A = this chain, B = another copy of it.
Amino acid sequence: MAGVRSAVRQVPGPCSHWNDDDADFIRHVLDRVGDKWSVLVVGTLEAGPLRYTELVHAIPGISQRMLTLTLQHLAEDGLATRTSYPEVPPRVEYELTPLGRSLLRTVLDLAAWAVDNHQTIQRHREAREVPA
Contacts and interface: CB of A to CB of B under 8 A. Distances in A.
B77 A124 contact: yes
What's the number of copies of this chain in the assembled complex?
A: 2
Contacts of A40: 13-15, 27, 30
A50 B125 contact: no
A111 B14 contact: yes
Interface residues of A, number: 67
Contacts of A34: 34-36, 39, 110
Given A13-B46, A31-B36, A76-B128, A25 B122 contact: yes
Given A11-B50, A15-B60, A23-B60, A78 B120 contact: yes
A113 B9 CA distance: 27
Contacts of A33: 110, 113-114
A61 interface: yes
Contact of A60 (B18, B43, B128): B18
27 contacts: A5-B57, A8-B53, A8-B57, A10-B57, A11-B47, A11-B54, A13-B44, A14-B107, A15-B44, A18-B115, A23-B60, A26-B115, A27-B40, A27-B61, A29-B117, A29-B121, A34-B110, A77-B121, A78-B123, A78-B124, A99-B120, A99-B121, A102-B113, A102-B117, A103-B113, A106-B109, A110-B110
